[in-house]
Amino acid sequence: MASTNIPYGSALAVKLQSAGLFAANMQRNTTINRLTGKFPQQADAEQTIRNQSSSEMPIVKCMDLTKVAGDEITFDLINPMGGKPIMGSAVAEGQGRKMSFSQDRLRINQARYPISAGDTMTQQRTPHELRKLARALGQNYMDRLADQLTLVHLAGARGSHMNAEWAVPLSTDPDFAQIAVNTVKAPTKNRHFMSTGTGIETIKAAANEISIATTDVMNTDLIDGLRTQLDSMAVPPPPVIFEGDKMASDSPLRVLLVSSEQYTSIQQSNSGQFRTFQANAMARAQQAGQHPLFMGDSILWNGILVVKMPKPIRFYAGDSLRWCSSYTSETETTTDLVPAAFGTSYAVDRALLLGGQALAEAWGKNVKTGNPFFWSEKELDHADKLEVLVGAINGRSKIRFLVDHGDAQQYTDYGVIAIDTAVRLPF
């Protein structure tokens, strides 16, 4: 029987490798990837207006740019209608209220990561298959980069936490803006709160320090206060609707991403009830097709599913806590700092309450492979050395609109709320 061989370096081999990388990335079992759904179309908006169930996930993905050329997409929000009805026989003709839309956009760019697979003698001296290892390391790196960029954009800040696993540099790095692709936007004023120790309040500062104490931690009192805020908001973040969730209409959910330290704080302040919170999550999982987000380190309280985030968005003493001081402006305040009294024992971590359609993610295509992810290998120095490269063409941006709240138009992060709390550092 004849066999088909794909020679090294052929165009077909590149395409197969790239397709495999893309599939692996889309299937990666991470918290961030579990929060991803399809980019909404007009039919989805129509369903939402009619209060019909539609797939509402925090991260919405647009693949249209893989089909056509372009490096930017726009997306629209239908503003809610207000005003008085026309009663009785009063003339209604010609009195139609104008529909209004708010618009935002995001760009895409390519990110590439080269890895040296060694030279001829290096490969001779080691028992490892360096080419395969380089491919696996490159894929792991691009997965981390995608998840971390998503987290940074949702939080509206990079923070100052740093270790070897961070692929996204600090915001002070000269390449940060280019790596982020789209502007990292600080939370809007109507979507930004901080802990009071017994609940939440809007961000405040005095004498260029944020008005937060080391006792203002994450606990169930904060979650209760957050739920009260949601119920009273004129335009709250839409609920997260997991596919097949039988209780989505009667018991809507939002997802609260917390740092490991914030999660521990909830556990310590509610040690007697914590197993009940875990059982609540497992019970709801049975109604939501056993969605993996309910498994592992997750608890459910007061309609909010609490899940650990992969990396903390953390601000240390003296760090600027970027925030917007006005409802009608996107101007960020940069002079208000984490209190010096926090020292080296405490910090501020940013939790993220996610509703539907919090962040838009767009993917382009490599001209040679037709896929967002691509892979290449190149021999150097007369074939003595081998370099491999993995890349991706994508971009992401927090979804923000100028929303009509009835009495005024406010800049509004559509599907995410930031909550800053004090945390005790582990060491």
* Residue 193 is assigned to a structural domain of this protein: yes
CA distance 160 to 317: 10
173 domain residue, yes or no: no
Across-strand partners of 123?
none
- Nearest-10 Cα torsion for 416, 324, 310, 112: 100
- Rounded Cα gap, residues 109 and 68, in angstroms: 15
Closest-CA residue to 420 (of 351, 353, 354, 358): 351
Of 407 and 67, the one with more pLDDT: 407
Whether residue 136 lies inside any domain: the answer is: no
- In this predicted structure, the answer to whether residue 305 has a pLDDT above a threshold of 90 is yes
Query: CA-CA distance, 226 to 214, in Å (whole number)?
Result: 20
- Give domain status of residue 406, yes or no: yes
pLDDT, mean of residues 341-361 = 94
- Domain-located, residue 135: no
Supply the pLDDT for residue 402.
Answer: 84
- Residue with tokens 């081998």, as numbered in its chain: 386
What pLDDT is stored for residue 145 in this prediction? 93
* Structural domain includes residue 305: yes
Residue 162 lies in a domain: no
Q: What is the CB neighbour count within 10 angstroms for residue 288? A: 20
The pLDDT of residue 51: 45
CA distance 257 to 260: 10
Please give the residue that has the higher pLDDT: either 173 or 78: 173
Structural domain of residue 324, as residue ranges?
Answer: 189-359+402-424
357-402 confidence digits (pLDDT tens): 899 888 888 877 777 888 888 888 767 888 888 898 889 999 888 8
Angle at 356 between CA 422 and CA 269, to 5 degrees: 30
* Structure letter (DSSP) for residue 64: G
Q: Is residue 70 part of a domain?
A: no
Residue 54, pLDDT score: 41
Summarize pLDDT for 157-193 with one digit per residue, the tens.
999 999 989 999 999 999 999 999 999 999 999 999 9
The pLDDT of residue 52 is 39
Q: What gap in Å lies between CA 33 and CA 150, rounded to an integer?
A: 10
Helix (H, G, I), strand (E, B) or coil at 62: strand
User: Tens digit of pLDDT for each residue in 227-265?
Assistant: 999 999 888 898 888 877 888 778 889 999 999 999 999
- Pair 328, 403: CB distance under 8 Å: no
Cβ 303 vs Cβ 148: under 8 Å: no
Tell me, what's the pLDDT at 285? 84
Q: Is 280 a residue whose pLDDT tops 50?
A: yes
For the chain, percent of residues with pLDDT exceeding 90 = 41
Tokens of 96: 């139609």
**CA dist list (Å): 380 to 107, 120, 388:** 34, 11, 11
Please give the pLDDT value at position 4. 43
Q: Per-residue confidence at 136, pLDDT binned at 50, 70, 90?
A: confident
pLDDT for 389 equals 87
Number of domains in the chain: 1
pLDDT band at residue 50 using 50, 70 and 90 as cut-offs: very low
Q: CB of 295 within 8 A of CB of 33? A: no
Identify which has the larger pLDDT, 384 or 416: 416
Q: Quick one: pLDDT at residue 379? A: 81
pLDDT at 248: 77
Q: What is the pTM of this model?
A: 0.83
Range with lowest mean pLDDT among 12-26, 326-340, 385-399: 12-26
